[in-house]
Amino acid sequence: KLKNGLKSALPAVVSIHVELDSPPVIPPQQPGSPQPDMSRSFGTGFFIDQEGVILTNAHVIQGAKSIIVKNQNGNESLAKIVGVDPVLDLAVLRTSMRSDAILTLEHPVEVSVGDSVYAIGSSFGLPQSVTFGIVSAMHRSISSPLQDFIQTDSAINQGNSGGPLINRDGQLIGVNTMIIGVQGGNNGVGFAIPVSLARNVAEQLLQYGQTKPGRLGVHVQNLSRDMAIALGAQSVQAGVVVSDVAPGSTADAIGLKQRDIITRINNQPVATSAQLAATVYSLREGSSIALRVVRNNKSITLTGSSASSLDVPQNAPAHLLDGVSVVRYEAVDRVGTTVRGLLVQNTMAESPGWLAGLLPGDVIQQIGTVKVRELSDLARVKQTDKPLLIELIRQNKSVFLVLNSQSGVSRSD
């Protein structure tokens, strides 16, 4: 069975070779980072349809001047970027190369801790490398409140980023994305984006060239055993508890209430607040949402449509927002603290925000003396030629950056 599963999956996998405009800034834990030749980088991808559409990680093709993909037979083809979501670290490419072998995103399979898995990729530039392991944990959040990773001990090394994580039947269960290790090597702790999130993002990138994330407008926290008992819901094993509902939000419109326990979204089990946040983010604005909720120890279903992310106000200071894409963000962190602010989705190279060090996944909480919780708060930031101190949350830590509307920009950390 293993042989058959690999036999069907391997031809769908490609190695990706990138010529860079300039050396990208990529966290060392991401195993698609540049090699000693800093003008090039490599990673992995895989066909998701027979017409040349390839899924990979956003950081694999970051800063690309040109992209070449090579299939199992050694055939090469230039690839173009269809769309990128830097927040969930996914990208879609298109090439003239066709492939009969694909890894489908249509039917996510059930994944459990202990399941056997196989990672395929270009480990250290060696294409079609296969490693074996198990699912070590589910719903891991490492450096961003919007992460919902599958953790595996299958060896993932430099060059594996963007490659598939498959089960024994050769079915796609995730996109290999990140490792925790020393100098880019494997320490048995790797992470993959679940296929359910990858599917939602890929569909949007193919249709729009970008993601248009949905919003729910609710504060939640992870359900503990004691909390379930206190809420009279002893039979509920996993879920998130609604602690607040924003007036006028999607959550409010569909009837979510404080103390509700969300157990499923669109028929997918909900285990953590990060998982719920990532799932809602991955849904296209206006998408249908069905929530399975336990209220007063009774199970009910609430349905509606996800709200759209608001556009940046036109009267916001140009020196602040030029080249920086942000959306309103609300979540509960791992210690139960509600985090509110503006989530950085993308930064344009050479923009003031990019030079200041803003990264996708940062949650901006204050600019100068103005606390920012809504996009409209940006209009209250006064235009100034003086440097502005930005307070933000990055990887669950407070960080200060200095934003200067002039050319000189510096970090304060």
33 is catalytic: no
Catalytic residue, candidates 161, 273, 325, 405: 161
Domain ranges for the chain: 1-210, 214-308, 318-411
Pick the CATH number of 214-308 from 3.40.1010.10, 3.20.20.80, 3.20.20.70, 2.30.42.10: 2.30.42.10
Asked whether this chain's domains 214-308 and 318-411 adopt the same fold, the reply is yes
Q: How far apart are CA 167 and CA 134, in angstroms?
A: 9
Question: What is the model's pTM?
Answer: 0.67
Pick the CATH number of 1-210 from 3.40.50.620, 1.20.810.10, 2.40.10.120, 3.20.20.80: 2.40.10.120
* Residues in the chain where the model's pLDDT stays below 70: 1-3, 22-38, 107-108, 143-146, 181-187, 307-323, 332-336, 348-351, 383-385, 404-413
59 is catalytic: yes
Catalytic residue, candidates 89, 148, 153, 377: 89
Task: Identify residue 25 by its one-letter amino acid code.
Answer: V
Pick the CATH number of 318-411 from 1.25.10.10, 1.10.150.170, 3.90.1300.10, 2.30.42.10: 2.30.42.10
SS3 246: coil
Q: How far apart are CA 221 and CA 283, in angstroms?
A: 20
How much is the pLDDT for 216?
Answer: 84
CB environment 372-396: b (16+ within 10 A), e (fewer): beebebbeebeeeeebbebbbbbee
Per the listing, tokens 């950081």 go with 59
CB environment 186-223: b (16+ within 10 A), e (fewer): beebbbbbbbbbbbbbbbbbbeeeebebbbbbbbbbbb
377 is catalytic: no
Catalytic residue, candidates 59, 139, 219, 319: 59
